Structure 1
Amino acid sequence: MATTTQTHEEVPTAVAEPLEEPKKRNPLVFIILAIVLLAGGYYGWTRLQFAKAHESTDDASVEGDVYPILPRVSGPVLKVFVNDNQVVKKGDTLVTIDKSDYQQRVNAAEAALVAAQAQVTAARAGVGTAQANVRTAQTTIGVSSANRARLQQDLARSTKLRKDDIIPQSDYDAVQANLKATTAQQSTAQDQVTVARQQVVAAQQQIAVAQAVVKQRQSDLDNAKLQLSYTTLLAPANGIVSKKSVQPGQVVSPGQQLIGLVSSGKTWVIANFKETQLEEMKVGQKAKLEVDAYPSEDFEGHIESLSAATGARFALLPPDNASGNFVKVTQRVPVKIVLDKEDPQHPLRAGMSVNAIVAVK
């Protein structure tokens, strides 16, 4: 019997490695994530609530009064008393224009006024002369009337005497002739009174004409003095000199801007809100102003007024939607916001950019 030898191969025994346990997540991460989500949600919620109660725009700028200094008469400039960015007060002299020509006009007007006043005096003297002529003529009428009455009596006596042939015919004729002459003198005196009275009326009219001439000459004198006063340009208000474009010796003409005087008084903000933002906007509502020049400062104000028209209506060429193709564009309405309190440490200058936020609720 054959013997079978069975060979057993040695099988290496695999060593079982231990399983890795899953890493535990740090709970701090979840806490931080939750805090971030809550903070983000709270921030978003507050911004949403803020947006519902406020309207804002960055289309806003500071505005102020700017006075253009314009000459009203022409002539060479004698002296300029101010420099750029100089602070001036109301009534300060800014520029003077040569006044020689205008002084001559004043002198001529004064002489013409004196001549006109002399004409009034002469016209009044003429009235006195005419009135004296009236009195003289009236006296002549009185004398003629008395003589005529006497001669009528003489004629009556002479008629009786002539009938009785007591006086000659020549005496009777002489009395008749004297009566006729006296009657003619009386008629002439009456005509002289009429003429003299007409002369009085004419002389009085000459006084009225002379007085009218005096008024005209006085008006000319006042106008000449007014033109003379225009040779001195004064500051119309307190402010700061800006955009000075005048030098001594320069010949200026009326209406030519020489200086821009920026008022140093009150300033305000014009904010151009969209028309869709005006539903709940009213006069008196509080506003916060963020000025680009002072990023760390906030200015408080309130709405003073809302414009009656959009800014486009005041453009050089306002839109006319009926004349062609219509494209709807959201319009903006200027809103005037004034500061509740001026901050001298942070002055607002005209033209500064502003972000305006209005609390509408």
Structure 2
Amino acid sequence: MLARATRHIATLFAVALGIAGVVAVLYAWKLPPFTSTMKVTEDAYVRGRVTTLAPQLAGQIAEVAVTDFQPVHAGDVLVRIDDDIYRQRLAQAEATLAERRAALAGNKQDRIVAEAKIRSADAGVASAEATLKVAEANLGRIDKLQSRGVATKREADEQGLARDQARATRDQAKAEADQARQNLAAIATNRRSLEAEVANAQASVRLAQIDLDNTVITAPVNGRLGEVSARVGQYVTSGTRLTTLVAEDIWVVANFKETQVGGMTPGLPVSFTVDALGDAELSGTIERFSPATGSEFSVLSSSNATGNFIKVAQRLPVRIAIDPGQPLAERLAPGMSVVARVDTAHPARSDVAGAAPRTVAAADAPLPNP
């Protein structure tokens, strides 16, 4: 009798233990009846714009105006590179530009002189034409007088020679006028070349000015510096890392499983805790979803077209905007680990940037429940 009771107790204990195991599994995997609208992920991090600052030219550092982790504003001077060489290059470029402009101004004067020579040559042609007409008229009169025996043959020959000389003078004047016009055309062609040289010299001046301006490295935006590696006297080249700048605007990227994003939509409230801040809870709002899962952006993409297949839930990055007015948010820094929680049963907010509008695009529409 006692043995039978012992067996019943053992059986009941085994059944209870089995039921407890099943319940534990259902609870751990959030399966019915333990499904919840609260979606949680520990695969989340604070993100921000971290910019590496480097020079665009080579030179020796003359001044380092900042220190590690210092807050800066846009336009603040961070590092100065010795600019003596670049000032001299700018002066050289400006001198070359002045020379090219002087040559262009001289070309203008040459054109004025060439036009005057054309007018003079045209006047010489007109004068030679008139002299030729007089010589031809005189020759005609001598021929008539010679036919009547009044003039001698010698006089007729002399007048014919005068006519030939006048014709040669006319031809020479025309040639000089053509040469003057060719000189004017050459001056016009040379002017285009001089204008191109002036434009090239102006570009050289601008480039030299840009190089001189680039000897001063300034903060592009408001933010805080990382470690400053620049040192006075250090020789740097283009691309040498001087420091990093972390901009003021930060956000959270939470990588939810694809089985968790059902029902999520832009504007949905998010609560999250940061490991560095202990149990303090902060709030945010879903801004937008990644256009693809994280595996699609990996360098080595996977292929499931061959062999056995085991379904693995992929993760979809979700960008979360941090609500303003939270004092602890000022202590957040890019890279901090976050635990994010989203209640898909909570109504989405429509008064924040990135919230779903009344007419929702397909990419921002609420994702269906799995």
TM-score class, shorter-chain normalisation, is 0.7 to 0.9
CA distance in 2, matches of 1:262, 1:177: 98
**Among candidates 284, 296, 300, match of residue 317 of structure 1:** 300
**Among candidates 172, 180, 185, match of residue 169 of structure 2:** 185
- Counterpart in the other structure of 1:98: 82
- Counterpart in the other structure of 2:291: 308
- Counterpart in the other structure of 1:332: 315
- 1:9-20 equivalent positions in 2, closer than 5 A: none
Q: Computing the radius of gyration over CA atoms, which structure comes out larger, 1 or 2?
A: 1
**What is the letter of the counterpart of residue 75 of structure 1?**
G
Corresponding position: 1:245 with 2:209? no
Structure 1: runs of 5 or more not aligned? 1-43
CA distance in 2, matches of 1:275, 1:346: 28
- Counterpart in the other structure of 1:37: none
Q: CA deviation at 1:321?
A: 4.1
Q: CA deviation at 1:139?
A: 0.6
Q: CA deviation at 1:323?
A: 8.0
CA distance in 2, matches of 1:345, 1:315: 33
- Counterpart in the other structure of 2:343: 359
CA distance in 2, matches of 1:116, 1:298: 69
**Among candidates 85, 88, 91, match of residue 69 of structure 2:** 85
Q: Alpha carbon RMSD of aligned pairs, Å?
A: 2.2
TM-score, scaled relative to structure 1: 0.81
**Among candidates 213, 229, 247, match of residue 263 of structure 1:** 247
CA distance in 1, matches of 2:77, 2:293: 40
Runs of 4+ aligned residues of structure 1 deviating over 6 Å after TM superposition are 47-50
Q: CA contact under 8 A between 1:61 and 1:354: conserved in structure 2? A: yes
**What is the letter of the counterpart of residue 273 of structure 1?**
F
TM-score, scaled relative to structure 2: 0.79
**Among candidates 149, 153, 156, match of residue 133 of structure 2:** 149
The 1:229–1:309 alpha-carbon spacing in structure 2 relative to 1, beyond 3 Å, is same
- Counterpart in the other structure of 1:288: 271
CA distance in 2, matches of 1:324, 1:184: 103
The 1:109–1:320 alpha-carbon spacing in structure 2 relative to 1, beyond 3 Å, is farther
Q: CA contact under 8 A between 1:124 and 1:204: conserved in structure 2? A: no
Q: CA contact under 8 A between 1:67 and 1:236: conserved in structure 2? A: no
CA distance in 2, matches of 1:55, 1:181: 113
Q: CA deviation at 1:293?
A: 2.9
- 1:35-114 equivalent positions in 2, closer than 5 A: 52-114=36-98
Q: CA deviation at 1:295?
A: 3.8
Q: Secondary structure at the match of 1:52?
A: coil
CA distance in 1, matches of 2:159, 2:286: 108
The 1:279–1:183 alpha-carbon spacing in structure 2 relative to 1, beyond 3 Å, is same
Q: Secondary structure at the match of 1:293?
A: helix
The 1:138–1:337 alpha-carbon spacing in structure 2 relative to 1, beyond 3 Å, is same
**What is the letter of the counterpart of residue 251 of structure 2?**
W
Range moving further from structure 2, 338-347 or 101-110: 338-347
Range moving further from structure 2, 174-183 or 321-330: 321-330
Map Cα deviations across residues 323-344 of structure 1 (whole Å, 9 max, x no partner).
8876543221211010232423
Q: Secondary structure at the match of 1:256?
A: coil
CA distance in 1, matches of 2:34, 2:45: 23
